[in-house]
Chains A and B, each alone.
Chain A
């Protein structure tokens, strides 16, 4: 559904994105994570046809990014919700429905249905009088006004309270379950982990890792072994009458067992813990920290 090949974006001397290549299948929820300035937003904007790539290519739903037909099949939610605050949700959504050639009766039904699902009341109130969460819901409703095949969401929960954020993340997950192809960026890795089928990790303009969570864990994460003993061994901590030690390999587990037996004790419990996406991300980020950036010029 989405194919990006060697995407590159330069702002003067500054390289914001370089060599990004990835594909997103139909119905897939694809997450892009990375630290600030990693190039996530620029990548999403190139996918949406908002920013013209300096190099490489993007196709969305079979069309080149920026083509009119591609735009008709796309729903884009930028990080901010720049709305026309003098308009009401209904007039605002009506206008965009008109722009997307949505017939009036279909638009009316779709607007009310979406706002119902988003639990948005006060539909005749000027947008300028609404809370940030309500505005975000209107922005999401706008992104769905044309019933798009592809959704590109940049930080959908950005700047919202946890309750609203969870609501919006759940809604996004529901969209994914309904077959929408979604490219999604977020700082909150828990959210990404909870709804994304695959993830790309960006750092300093480049995709440094991508795959599903298992792949990422296998390649960039590790398994922690929590070993509980009855006696103190080197590196253990007393916990609820037992001694707790975290090691990263089975050899270390065996060594801990031997040490406990030597001290007259025994191992009473062993638990495994896989790396979270956050740990994977931190590992990848640390790995890439020493990679030199192509240019350190200031972004315009």
Chain B
């Protein structure tokens, strides 16, 4: 214990701590001031009546949304008028369907087009020979078929009613049920392993999960999986996990047998022909978790639930970035932001302050949607990196754009590309683990009551978060008088932002490393978009990877030369190439090590693990080292140097050089893949 006046034995410097706290308080105060101003400034530009109307509309939408989602919109209620008497066998079928309005048969009404169908006895006696009349007859036929199926399902002897019966249960490959859903559903994969089990009584020995990718534990509770469903044959999941016997579930992290139970619910509620069944919350109601009925009733599985949930979350972001892009660009129009730059606040304060309201808005909307859909905090946390990514890309785009016309182009590009990145993989949440490249997949999983491991959470959120940081960093580099108010074309602005932080050779390597999150996200998007194309997708992915990586390694070198940062000598060019290649190699391996740490618990890493296993099993250790270290290092250094040699000369020489570098990189990729496959 140190007395007064004695040196601090802990080594900490109280005055330094005080200064740091003071600095933080100052930053927070400045950011809050600018954020408050950003809100009031923009609010001042909108008529109060408009705000009131917008608020009423929002409240109305918020109130109606759950109702609409749970009950659907019935715009077609009573559009077909059917003349049918109560003693007709069709009467119950007609009245059971809201599409029809039962009336007393009236021939005059039919001629006057006030009635579409007249049923007499057991047959349709007459119908209006109009488009609507024919549609009414077709709809009546379908309604009667559904009605009859329903009656059949009520039969006690189901085998007689449905000699052939198909039950489909859509099962996630990586399902870990969490109950209650309001808890943070991030669980340690170790806890999930074998935790389940008491989901059912239905299966016994053959109930173990048999997912083809074999990381049992967290995906199929081994002991006693399956619920008390009808077939009771346990898990036996197919490769995509989409089909199984009843009562699979078996994921039971919490050991409550929820999955199995749901399946059972589905079965007992079957007869809806794939309509929404089971599930107690709105998210469950968006689509059915299972389907059952005669073969004619079964539709191919479509991840409709994932699509809707992903859409609901990604849509507001697209509106928010429109407003955000406008406010950033408006600072640059007519030099409006100049006076903020001479105020006693930093660039970071200004950018953070201007961004905060839009970020808070995005998270607020996501929180509201999550609450409405009974999701957990995981959904909100997963939206954070996505919101940051959308905002940072918009910020950078708005720093590039010279006019609102260009900004429109920029924001549309961002909307399309980032929505594709976030939305498309999330649709396939239930189909492929590659969907985890998008944070929205976490949201969909969370809303479907599936648990998410910390590894999965990190895998989905770290790349977009780092990319957002890089985007904000590059944009902040342009947030100064000399760049904000100039009217340079977008490509030159891109070069400005890349060359801005570079003044020494080592900066080139650091910049290459910093750009790695971009590379990761871009490559994941490429994989997500191309994986469905079959074998050709491998070639396309390899080519795309080569292009993305070579650009990331060389574009800032070209930008540096364009900004006269370095002399154009041969030795300097080679030095820059080596620095860039080395920076990429180090960052890539660092990222690989981070992934290896979680490989065993993550679907997405399985392929890589298998690849490494192949290498480790069949190839001498020295060769493994060459394959993993020296060869990639040589590749990155050589190709970056090729590009640098072109960049030092001219734009056209750079284009030619990077083309060669891409070709070399592609050949390397092809060789490695051929080796692994062969």
Measured CB to CB, the residues of A under 8 A from B are 11-13, 45, 48-52, 68-69, 71-72, 74, 76, 78, 80, 82-84, 86-88, 91, 95-96, 98-101, 126, 142, 300
- List 4 other contacts, CB 8 Å, given A71-B344, A83-B336: A12-B564, A69-B344, A71-B343, A88-B44
> Which chain B residue lies CB-closest to A13?
B564
A-B contact pairs, 30 of them (CB 8 A): A11-B482, A12-B563, A13-B564, A48-B342, A52-B480, A52-B482, A68-B345, A71-B344, A72-B344, A76-B342, A78-B338, A78-B339, A80-B334, A80-B335, A82-B334, A82-B338, A82-B339, A83-B336, A84-B336, A86-B42, A86-B45, A87-B41, A87-B44, A91-B40, A95-B33, A96-B343, A99-B345, A100-B343, A101-B344, A300-B486
1/0 per residue, CB under 8 A from A, across B469-502: the answer is 0000000000011100010100000000000000
When distances are taken between beta carbons in the complex, the residues of chain A under 8 Å from B30 are: 99
Cross-interface CB contact of A50 among B41, B338, B563, cutoff 8 Å? B338
Cα–Cα distance between A98 and B34 once the two chains are bound (Å): 9
When distances are taken between beta carbons in the complex, the residues of chain A under 8 Å from B34 are: 99
When distances are taken between beta carbons in the complex, the residues of chain A under 8 Å from B42 are: 86
When distances are taken between beta carbons in the complex, the residues of chain A under 8 Å from B482 are: 11, 51-52
When distances are taken between beta carbons in the complex, the residues of chain B under 8 Å from A78 are: 335, 338-339
When distances are taken between beta carbons in the complex, the residues of chain A under 8 Å from B334 are: 80, 82
Cross-interface CB contact of B33 among A13, A71, A76, A98, cutoff 8 Å? A98
User: In the assembled complex, how far is the CB of residue A128 from the closest CB belonging to chain B, in whole angstroms?
Assistant: 9
Cα–Cα distance between A83 and B34 once the two chains are bound (Å): 15
> Which chain B residue lies CB-closest to A86?
B45
Which residues of chain B from 18 to 47 have any CB-CB distance to chain A below 8 Å in the complex? 30, 33-34, 37, 40-42, 44-45
User: In the assembled complex, how far is the CB of residue B483 from the closest CB belonging to chain A, in whole angstroms?
Assistant: 9
> Which chain A residue lies CB-closest to B29?
A101
Which residues of chain B from 495 to 543 have any CB-CB distance to chain A below 8 Å in the complex? none
When distances are taken between beta carbons in the complex, the residues of chain A under 8 Å from B340 are: 99
> Which chain A residue lies CB-closest to B46?
A86
> With A51-B482, A82-B336 in contact, do A300 and B344 touch (Cβ < 8 Å)?
no
B341 with A50: CB separation less than 8 A: yes
When distances are taken between beta carbons in the complex, the residues of chain B under 8 Å from A68 are: 344-346
User: In the assembled complex, how far is the CB of residue B559 from the closest CB belonging to chain A, in whole angstroms?
Assistant: 13
When distances are taken between beta carbons in the complex, the residues of chain B under 8 Å from A91 are: 40, 44
User: In the assembled complex, how far is the CB of residue A286 from the closest CB belonging to chain B, in whole angstroms?
Assistant: 32
> With A76-B342, A100-B344 in contact, do A50 and B40 touch (Cβ < 8 Å)?
no
Cα–Cα distance between A86 and B336 once the two chains are bound (Å): 12
Give 7 closest A-B pairs by Cβ, nearest first: A86-B45, A71-B344, A82-B336, A82-B335, A76-B342, A50-B481, A68-B344
B335 with A51: CB separation less than 8 A: no
B33 with A99: CB separation less than 8 A: yes
When distances are taken between beta carbons in the complex, the residues of chain B under 8 Å from A11 are: 482
> With A12-B563, A82-B334, A300-B486 in contact, do A95 and B37 touch (Cβ < 8 Å)?
yes
B486 with A74: CB separation less than 8 A: no
Cα–Cα distance between A50 and B339 once the two chains are bound (Å): 9
B41 with A84: CB separation less than 8 A: yes
B481 with A45: CB separation less than 8 A: yes
Cα–Cα distance between A188 and B41 once the two chains are bound (Å): 36
Which residues of chain B from 307 to 355 have any CB-CB distance to chain A below 8 Å in the complex? 334-346
When distances are taken between beta carbons in the complex, the residues of chain B under 8 Å from A71 are: 342-344
Cα–Cα distance between A277 and B488 once the two chains are bound (Å): 38
User: In the assembled complex, how far is the CB of residue B561 from the closest CB belonging to chain A, in whole angstroms?
Assistant: 13
A49 with B342: CB separation less than 8 A: yes
When distances are taken between beta carbons in the complex, the residues of chain B under 8 Å from A142 are: 339
> Which chain A residue lies CB-closest to B335?
A82
A86 with B343: CB separation less than 8 A: no
Cα–Cα distance between A11 and B339 once the two chains are bound (Å): 21
Which residues of chain B from 120 to 145 have any CB-CB distance to chain A below 8 Å in the complex? none
User: In the assembled complex, how far is the CB of residue A196 from the closest CB belonging to chain B, in whole angstroms?
Assistant: 22
A51 with B336: CB separation less than 8 A: no
Cross-interface CB contact of B481 among A51, A95, A300, cutoff 8 Å? A51
User: In the assembled complex, how far is the CB of residue A70 from the closest CB belonging to chain B, in whole angstroms?
Assistant: 9
Cα–Cα distance between A91 and B481 once the two chains are bound (Å): 24
User: In the assembled complex, how far is the CB of residue A6 from the closest CB belonging to chain B, in whole angstroms?
Assistant: 20
A86 with B41: CB separation less than 8 A: yes
User: In the assembled complex, how far is the CB of residue B636 from the closest CB belonging to chain A, in whole angstroms?
Assistant: 31
A50 with B342: CB separation less than 8 A: yes
B342 with A74: CB separation less than 8 A: yes
Which residues of chain B from 622 to 656 have any CB-CB distance to chain A below 8 Å in the complex? none
User: In the assembled complex, how far is the CB of residue B236 from the closest CB belonging to chain A, in whole angstroms?
Assistant: 64
Cα–Cα distance between A114 and B128 once the two chains are bound (Å): 82
Cα–Cα distance between A95 and B36 once the two chains are bound (Å): 9
> Which chain B residue lies CB-closest to A95?
B37
Cα–Cα distance between A91 and B338 once the two chains are bound (Å): 18
Of residues B42, B344, B563, which shows the largest number of chain A Cβ atoms within 10 Å of its Cβ?
B344
When distances are taken between beta carbons in the complex, the residues of chain A under 8 Å from B564 are: 12-13
Cα–Cα distance between A76 and B341 once the two chains are bound (Å): 11
Cα–Cα distance between A146 and B382 once the two chains are bound (Å): 43
User: In the assembled complex, how far is the CB of residue A36 from the closest CB belonging to chain B, in whole angstroms?
Assistant: 18
B343 with A300: CB separation less than 8 A: no
A99 with B344: CB separation less than 8 A: yes
Cα–Cα distance between A99 and B343 once the two chains are bound (Å): 7
Cα–Cα distance between A48 and B338 once the two chains are bound (Å): 11
> Which chain B residue lies CB-closest to A9?
B482
Cα–Cα distance between A52 and B40 once the two chains are bound (Å): 32
User: In the assembled complex, how far is the CB of residue B673 from the closest CB belonging to chain A, in whole angstroms?
Assistant: 44
Cα–Cα distance between A95 and B340 once the two chains are bound (Å): 11
When distances are taken between beta carbons in the complex, the residues of chain B under 8 Å from A99 are: 30, 33-34, 340, 343-345
Cα–Cα distance between A138 and B134 once the two chains are bound (Å): 72
> Which chain B residue lies CB-closest to A10?
B564
Cα–Cα distance between A300 and B337 once the two chains are bound (Å): 19
When distances are taken between beta carbons in the complex, the residues of chain B under 8 Å from A96 are: 339, 343
Cα–Cα distance between A300 and B495 once the two chains are bound (Å): 14
> Which chain A residue lies CB-closest to B562?
A12
Cα–Cα distance between A12 and B342 once the two chains are bound (Å): 23
User: In the assembled complex, how far is the CB of residue B562 from the closest CB belonging to chain A, in whole angstroms?
Assistant: 9
Cα–Cα distance between A189 and B600 once the two chains are bound (Å): 78
User: In the assembled complex, how far is the CB of residue B270 from the closest CB belonging to chain A, in whole angstroms?
Assistant: 59
Cα–Cα distance between A82 and B44 once the two chains are bound (Å): 17
Cα–Cα distance between A100 and B29 once the two chains are bound (Å): 11
Of residues A11, A52, A82, A91, which shows the largest number of chain B Cβ atoms within 10 Å of its Cβ?
A82
User: In the assembled complex, how far is the CB of residue A77 from the closest CB belonging to chain B, in whole angstroms?
Assistant: 9
Cα–Cα distance between A78 and B344 once the two chains are bound (Å): 16
Which residues of chain B from 342 to 378 have any CB-CB distance to chain A below 8 Å in the complex? 342-346
A300 with B339: CB separation less than 8 A: no
When distances are taken between beta carbons in the complex, the residues of chain B under 8 Å from A51 are: 481-482
Cα–Cα distance between A87 and B335 once the two chains are bound (Å): 16
When distances are taken between beta carbons in the complex, the residues of chain A under 8 Å from B41 are: 84, 86-87, 95
User: In the assembled complex, how far is the CB of residue B336 from the closest CB belonging to chain A, in whole angstroms?
Assistant: 4
Cα–Cα distance between A68 and B481 once the two chains are bound (Å): 16
User: In the assembled complex, how far is the CB of residue B185 from the closest CB belonging to chain A, in whole angstroms?
Assistant: 42
When distances are taken between beta carbons in the complex, the residues of chain A under 8 Å from B335 are: 78, 80, 82
> Which chain B residue lies CB-closest to A98?
B33
When distances are taken between beta carbons in the complex, the residues of chain B under 8 Å from A95 are: 33, 37, 41
Cα–Cα distance between A96 and B343 once the two chains are bound (Å): 8
Cα–Cα distance between A262 and B594 once the two chains are bound (Å): 106
User: In the assembled complex, how far is the CB of residue B172 from the closest CB belonging to chain A, in whole angstroms?
Assistant: 50
Cα–Cα distance between A51 and B341 once the two chains are bound (Å): 10
When distances are taken between beta carbons in the complex, the residues of chain A under 8 Å from B346 are: 68
User: In the assembled complex, how far is the CB of residue B499 from the closest CB belonging to chain A, in whole angstroms?
Assistant: 11
Cα–Cα distance between A68 and B26 once the two chains are bound (Å): 11
Cα–Cα distance between A289 and B278 once the two chains are bound (Å): 88
User: In the assembled complex, how far is the CB of residue A19 from the closest CB belonging to chain B, in whole angstroms?
Assistant: 20
When distances are taken between beta carbons in the complex, the residues of chain A under 8 Å from B344 are: 68-69, 71-72, 99-101
When distances are taken between beta carbons in the complex, the residues of chain A under 8 Å from B486 are: 300
Cα–Cα distance between A50 and B344 once the two chains are bound (Å): 11
> With A95-B37, A98-B33, A99-B344 in contact, do A76 and B339 touch (Cβ < 8 Å)?
yes
Cα–Cα distance between A6 and B165 once the two chains are bound (Å): 90
Cα–Cα distance between A68 and B343 once the two chains are bound (Å): 8
When distances are taken between beta carbons in the complex, the residues of chain A under 8 Å from B342 are: 48-50, 71, 74, 76
